Amino acid sequence: MNPLADRIRPQTLDDVVGQTHLLGKGALLRRVVESGQIPNMIFYGPPGTGKTTVASIIANSAGKTLHKLNGTTASTSDIKSVVGELDTFAGVGGVLLYLDEIQYLNKKQQQSLLEFIENGQITLIASTTENPYFYVYNAILSRATIFEFKPVSKDEVKKAVERAFRIIGEERGAPLDIEDGVCDHIAQLCGGDVRKAINAAELLSLAAKDGRVTLADAREAAQRSSMKYDRDGDEHYDILSALQKSVRGSDTDAALHYLARLLEAGDLISPCRRLLVMASEDIGMAYPLAAVIVKSCVDSAMQLGLPEARIPLAQAVITLCTAPKSNSGVIAIDKAMADVEAGMVYEIPAHLRDSHYKGAAKLGRGNGYLYPHDFKNHWVKQQYLPDKLKGRQYYQFGPNKTEQAAKAYWDKVKGESKE
């Protein structure tokens, strides 16, 4: 017997759980489907959100010869077989190719479809759990419309779970006795993945004693299943991005939440590296000591390992969130890098060049250099940038207390030297 998720797969768009932003009345994808003119489309989103279901519904109503391929198993000969049908009677009205997990096809395989997609002989509906902008060939992307599928809400998943238990009861000839809280628990811990929720319902029904599904069994079946995480996928970088933006926005609670998600997934290296970057990128000159504190916390975390590592890393996150913010340092180095990358690498002034070798003076190396420590306040005016960059300014003091104090000091020192 097929898995329950396949047996109860929706047959119409109205039966699909969630995705109202795409399939609700008046939504763009629904209007496109109802027009009867199916364009090339790519469905992108997490597993169990209805991509395959919606693609199948559209394909079955398209009135074209339908071919289904899966990128994990499809070979070049499979693609050639689809293309070869275009010149036969079966391909007269065009072919609709449903390609699941397109990210697993290599560039050459994707390119082999391009000519036929462009002239309309093949209409492509592809689905992927990975960001298509990273994994799908650009020429395919430019000829397709991308629709993003979102994780299904808890309430919608609960409806699917209740429907699953009801159908299981019908198949076995007697309704299941579902303990209060079972459906809510499955819906909560399946992370918006309807397929996972239905699979959990099927598993619990098989294990049910005398037809009773208990909350204790549901907790065991669904434990940790809400953690959607792939260290090489979008979820990984999305969490890291959210962590840094929460720190930058001084939201301690949000930052701790995203740190916890990384640590719960067993990822210690990524948050450590990102916290080290944040200390200089987002706090920087407003509180330079933050870099020292975070380095110490990271070192402690790496020596301790999980679960104890959570404590110094939480300290680092709270320190960064509550610290004053400045990005003046990263702005300054980016400006300097931009000039260097643009080829603005001019001759170093002679008085700054190395003079620690015999004959340097004859070449003019170091001649005229003024040693700042010999002057009041250990500063003396002289040129340091190359002639063609004289007067160029990369760093500007930020408005925070620390940088403004430094600015006041140097304004005074440099002002005194001019008197």
CB-CB neighbours of 1 under 10 Å: 6
User: Is the same domain home to 182 and 93?
Assistant: no
User: Is the same domain home to 361 and 410?
Assistant: yes
264 assigned to some structural domain: yes
User: Is the same domain home to 216 and 274?
Assistant: no
Q: How many domains does the chain have?
A: 4
Task: Read off the CATH number of the domain in which 194 is found.
Answer: 1.10.8.60
212 assigned to some structural domain: yes
Q: Which domain holds residue 23?
A: 19-148
Whether pTM > 0.75 for this model: the answer is no
50 assigned to some structural domain: yes
63 assigned to some structural domain: yes
Q: What's the one-letter identity of residue 338?
A: A
β-sheet bridge partners, residue 98: 68, 125
User: Is the same domain home to 133 and 162?
Assistant: no
What is the share, in percent, of the chain residues with pLDDT greater than 90? 42
User: Is the same domain home to 248 and 309?
Assistant: yes
User: Is the same domain home to 114 and 203?
Assistant: no
User: What are the C-alpha distances in Å from 308 to residues 5, 124, 260, 293, 303?
Assistant: 40, 50, 12, 18, 10
User: Is the same domain home to 109 and 171?
Assistant: no
419 pLDDT band, cuts 50/70/90, is very low
β-sheet bridge partners, residue 79: none
CA 68 to chain CA centroid, Å, is 29
246 assigned to some structural domain: yes
Ranked by mean pLDDT, which of 73-77, 192-196, 375-379 comes out on top?
Answer: 375-379
* Residue finishing a domain among 168, 197, 221: 221
143 assigned to some structural domain: yes
State the Cα–Cα distance between residues 247 and 229, nearest whole angstrom. Answer: 21
334 assigned to some structural domain: no
Tell me the three state secondary structure of residue 83.
Answer: helix
State the Cα–Cα distance between residues 206 and 80, nearest whole angstrom. Answer: 43
331 assigned to some structural domain: no
Q: What are the tens digits of pLDDT across the range 61-115? A: 776 777 888 888 888 888 888 888 776 665 556 788 889 888 888 888 888 888 8
